[in-house]
Amino acid sequence: MKSTQWMSLLGLANRARKIISGEELSVKEIRSGKAKLILLAADASANTTKKITDKCKSYHVPFKIVENRYLLGQSIGKEARVVVALLDEGFAKKLLTLLD
């Protein structure tokens, strides 16, 4: 996985205001059907991981696991982020291809 590619794309999506970060907000976006892709840090707690993956499955939202919370946070100019929701179909599709 080329972390720099998906990270710069995520940064772009962030500047375009097409993402939401944080567990609660992401769950809200999954429920509302606005989330097109969820990025989950591999070092998220077991509890968070289960909650997010279960939600994604029941609402048919694709999700990808990325290396860790620091890379995820860094890519959107934040300290550390465990969950990021993409709200744009285009960015989501492109990220899925980079993260496969």
Residue from 15, 67, 8 nearest 42 by CA? 67
Q: What's the distance, CA 41 to chain centroid?
A: 8
* DSSP code of residue 81: -
| Average pLDDT per 10 consecutive residues for the chain, totaling 100 residues | 84 98 97 98 97 98 96 96 98 94
Looking at residue 3, its pLDDT comes to 72
Looking at residue 38, its pLDDT comes to 98
CATH architecture of 3-99: 2-Layer Sandwich (3.30)
Q: Which two tokens stand for residue 46?
A: 């077991």
DSSP 37-73: EEEEETTS-HHHHHHHHHHHHHTT--EEEES-HHHHH
